[in-house]
């Protein structure tokens, strides 16, 4: 149980990084990067989520089966979003024949 005791320095370091990334994502939003605004915003959000999951939630040092469960959650989320988006974004690529 004591396997995942992290030091105070680790917690404070993670918190400082999270605060810096929050400032970064807010400031970058004011710069016009076109499509890459959303890419940067999501990359920063995923990085912040990973920091919280790995250190605050101790997943980095958790048992392998716990890591597999957490990974499965992300996998199913990706399946959900990928398949929904691939359907919606590819509609009407081929003109529909009259009468449909």
Partner 1 sequence: MPETHAALAHQFEDLTQQHDAATLGMWIFLVTEVMFFGGLFAGYTMYRAEYPAAFAAGSRLCEVALGASNTLILITSSLTMALAVSGAQRGRRRLTLVFLGLTMTLGALFLGVKFLEYFHKFQEHLIPGPNFGYTGLSARQVELFICFYFGLTGLHALHMIIGLGVVTVMIVLTWRGRFSSAHYAPIEVAGLYWHFVDIVWIFLFPLLYLVDLHR
| Binding stretches for partner 1 (CB under 8 A) | 1-2, 5-6, 8, 11-12, 14-15, 18-19, 22, 25-26, 29-33, 37-38, 41-42, 44-45, 48-49, 52-53, 55-58, 62-63, 65-66, 69-70, 72-74, 76-77, 80-81, 84-85, 88-89
| Separation between Cα atoms, residue 44 and residue 12, nearest integer Å | 19
Q: How far is the CB of 19 from partner 1 (least distance, A)?
A: 6
Answer yes or no: are the C-beta atoms of 33 and 40 closer than 8 Å.
yes
Count the alpha carbons within 13 Å of 51 in the hemisphere toward its beta carbon.
Answer: 18
Taking Cα atoms as reference points, which of 1, 14, 11 lies closest to residue 63? 1
Q: Pick between residue 86 and residue 96 the one whose CB is nearest to partner 1.
A: 86
């Amino acid at each position: 149980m004591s396997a995942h005791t992290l030091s105070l320095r680790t917690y404070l370091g993670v918190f400082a990084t999270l605060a810096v990334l929050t400032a970064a994502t807010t400031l970058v939003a004011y710069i016009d990067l076109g499509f890459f605004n959303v890419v940067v915003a999501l990359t920063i959000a995923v990085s912040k989520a990973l920091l919280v999951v790995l250190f605050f939630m101790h997943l980095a040092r958790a048992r392998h089966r716990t890591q597999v469960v957490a990974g499965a959650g992300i996998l199913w989320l990706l399946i959900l979003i990928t398949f929904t988006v691939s359907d919606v974004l590819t509609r009407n690529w081929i003109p529909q024949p009259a009468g449909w």
